Amino acid sequence: MATNRWWRGAVIYQIYPRSFLDTNGDGVGDLAGIVEKLDYVASLGVDAIWISPFFKSPMADFGYDIADYRDVDPLFGTLSDFDRLLAKAHALGIRVMIDQVLSHTSMEHEWFRQSRESRDNARADWYVWADAKPDGTPPNNWLSIFGGVAWKWEPRRRQYYLHNFLSSQPDLNFHNPHVRAATLDNVKFWLDKGVDGLRLDAINYCFHDAQLRDNPPKPAELRTGRGFSPDNPYAFQYHHYNNTQPENLQFLEELRALLDRYPDATTLGEISSEDSLATMAEYCNGQRLHMGYSFELLTDDFSAAYIRGTVERLEATMTEGWPCWAISNHDVQRAVTRWGGPDASDTFAAQMVAMVCSLRGSVCLYQGEELGLPEADVPYEALQDPYGKTFWPNFKGRDGCRTPMPWNDAPQAGFSDGKPWLPIPPEHVERNVALQDADAHSVLNAARSFLRWRKTQPALRQGSIRFIDTAEPVLAFVRECGDQSMLVAFNLSSSPVSWQPPHALSPLAAPGVAAAELRDGILHFPPCGAAFAALS
């Protein structure tokens, strides 16, 4: 495998292990299931996989609440299973990235068990503890993303502890140098095993304001964002003090110094702040993270102007780092439904893969995106996500994008011999891998074809990006690398559109998309069509 910044322009396939393939019949996917399906992943033409947490955990937040950073939860297998996974992936030319959840642990982690016992034990200051106000209320007004107050009373210490997420996910105190050192040592454990990269969950949440200042209120008209509707009180504040603190920059530099001892390994930070694009630019450079992604393209906003504006704003600020884009993941409604609506076509699904893979940067594709899976409608009685249970029915949580992969039309779609942990909807079974594999015109084969072709186009993998003025619904830009200059354009509507580009073009036969026709200098797009052309 090529070394030296392999991650620049890479396509990274996210695997949510609970829902990929179950090999032991318990209804939950496992590491052995990933091993079994790595040949399928290789057939997609991706460069790497990112595996969501598989570490020992009580699973209150399905693995994002870690009880032991250095062991595999028995639900998913063993460390030997992970070693087999790593070896097979590397043999297939696939890099392996793993999730690292550094800002908080499970309350079942040994560190927290010790920390909560008293105010004077060896780990007493490893978590964020604070005294109550004189009236017994929490020390400030900080709120949890998952709803309600971000402080939980601990009677053993007669203090509150901070939890930015679930109350069973206490926040570590990164102001303590021993916490930072222990965290980096856990990261080193996996780097020594040979992982190729780290996806850093909620990386801007590591530090809190040491003065515990109140967050200021946010005007009602600005209470928007991923899941942060007016139904969630989290949207009522500017989160100036419970995350994205200046001290975090030094920790990122300490983390990068460790990564630099493994020159082929990379970092990808998940960043969600009051101005995520500005934070990405600040966090991603030669001394901090290699790459970052935010939720700007994981929202409901969908238009050529919005996509252009988002990318241009990042391009204007991120002068050193490398962007990574995603339009679907395990935390948000699937893009086919979110952007395409309930009747989105296969052509739209294939177009979305091509669109996100044509932007400047690396790309995260979420399992099932290559099948054009829509969001699943999970009934309340089948919900597993605590986030969804809290805000039902206005917000149904994240279960709809986490349902198991449909592999074939066997019982349980070939995912499990038991009852799946989430139901598999019939419309997903109708889009199963085996069926699409046999259909030359399927979303799966369109995605495969496009990703293979993309690997042959330096402008798409490494080139600069420059947008062209267009009217809705056309999104158009130029990608340039060396002598290659390529126009890329998408009709983001379900109706035919014509557009006259400002350049003379030589159309390129890009596979996997509904191609526009060039006639008399005018591009004629079919519904959800695309154009790739060399600039003459």
pLDDT in tens, 293-309: 999 999 999 999 999 99
Residue 291 is assigned to a structural domain of this protein: yes
Residue 147 is assigned to a structural domain of this protein: no
Does one domain contain both 445 and 471? no
Segments in 274-419 forming alpha helices (H): 276-283, 304-317, 335-340, 346-356, 386-391
Left if phi > 0, otherwise alpha if psi is -120 to 50, otherwise beta: which for 330? alpha
* Cα separation, 201 vs 266, whole angstroms: 14
Residue 530 is assigned to a structural domain of this protein: yes
Does one domain contain both 397 and 518? no
Residue 478 is assigned to a structural domain of this protein: yes
* Cα separation, 212 vs 199, whole angstroms: 28
* Cα separation, 39 vs 370, whole angstroms: 15
Asked if 436 and 371 touch (Cβ cutoff 8 Å), the reply is yes
pLDDT at 343 over 60: yes
CATH of the domain at 346: 3.20.20.80
Does one domain contain both 439 and 490? no
pLDDT in tens, 490-531: 999 999 999 999 989 999 999 999 999 999 999 999 999 999
pLDDT in tens, 144-156: 999 999 999 999 9
Residue 123 is assigned to a structural domain of this protein: no
Does one domain contain both 477 and 410? no
In total, how many domains does the chain have? 2
Phi, psi dihedral angles at 292 (to 5 degrees): -145, 155
* Cα separation, 326 vs 339, whole angstroms: 13
C-alpha closest to that of 113 among 154, 74, 153: 154
pLDDT in tens, 233-265: 999 999 999 999 999 999 999 999 999 999 999
CATH of the domain at 492: 2.60.40.1180
Query: Which residue is catalytic, options 201, 296, 331, 375?
Result: 201
Q: Percentage of the chain with pLDDT > 90?
A: 94
Start-to-end CA span in the chain (Å)? 34
pLDDT band at 226 (very low <50, low <70, confident <90, very high): low
Residue 446 is assigned to a structural domain of this protein: yes
Q: What is the dihedral of CA 187, 189, 195, 196, to 10 degrees?
A: 40
Does one domain contain both 213 and 357? yes
Query: Which residue is catalytic, options 270, 369, 375, 385?
Result: 270
* Cα separation, 29 vs 17, whole angstroms: 5
The C-alpha angle with vertex 56 and arms to 143 and 105, in degrees rounded to 5, equals 25
The C-alpha angle with vertex 26 and arms to 22 and 32, in degrees rounded to 5, equals 35
C-alpha closest to that of 256 among 174, 197, 205, 310: 197
Does one domain contain both 414 and 469? no
Does one domain contain both 472 and 419? no
Phi, psi dihedral angles at 210 (to 5 degrees): -65, -20
* Cα separation, 529 vs 515, whole angstroms: 6
C-alpha closest to that of 49 among 4, 3, 82: 82
* Domain final position from 453, 477, 502: 453
Does one domain contain both 209 and 309? yes
| Residue ranges making up the domain that contains 229 | 11-104+177-453
pLDDT at 227 over 70: no
Q: Is 120 exposed, middle or buried (0-12, 13-18, 19+ CB in 10 A)?
A: exposed
pLDDT at 229 over 70: no
* Cα separation, 428 vs 409, whole angstroms: 10
pLDDT band at 336 (very low <50, low <70, confident <90, very high): very high
256 Cβ partners below 8 Å, 6+ apart? 267, 287, 288, 289
pLDDT at 347 over 90: yes
Burial string for 332-348 (b: 16+ CB within 10 Å, else e) reads: bbbbbbbbbeeebbbbb
pLDDT at 371 over 60: yes
C-alpha closest to that of 434 among 419, 444, 448, 423: 444
* Cα separation, 307 vs 358, whole angstroms: 12
The string of DSSP letters for 22-35 reads -SSSSSS--HHHHH
3-class state of residue 171 by DSSP = strand
pLDDT of 230 reads 61
Q: Is 469 exposed, middle or buried (0-12, 13-18, 19+ CB in 10 A)?
A: exposed
* Cα separation, 139 vs 403, whole angstroms: 39
* Cα separation, 284 vs 217, whole angstroms: 29
User: Six-digit token pair at 270?
Assistant: 């998940």
Residue 120 is assigned to a structural domain of this protein: no
pLDDT of 2 reads 45
pLDDT at 109 over 90: yes
Residue 132 is assigned to a structural domain of this protein: no
For strands 95-101 and 197-201, give the pairing: parallel
pLDDT of 16 reads 98
pLDDT band at 395 (very low <50, low <70, confident <90, very high): confident
Segments in 359-474 forming alpha helices (H): 386-391, 426-429, 433-437, 443-455, 458-462
pLDDT at 365 over 50: yes
* Domain final position from 453, 485, 512: 453
pLDDT of 4 reads 64
Does one domain contain both 385 and 469? no
C-alpha closest to that of 345 among 524, 516, 493, 531: 493
For strands 362-366 and 266-270, give the pairing: unpaired
Is 270 part of the annotated catalytic residue set? yes
pLDDT at 190 over 90: yes
Does one domain contain both 323 and 409? yes
* Cα separation, 252 vs 242, whole angstroms: 17
* Domain final position from 453, 473, 488: 453
Does one domain contain both 372 and 503? no
User: Six-digit token pair at 141?
Assistant: 């007004």
Find where tokens 């010790």 sit: 114
Does one domain contain both 494 and 410? no
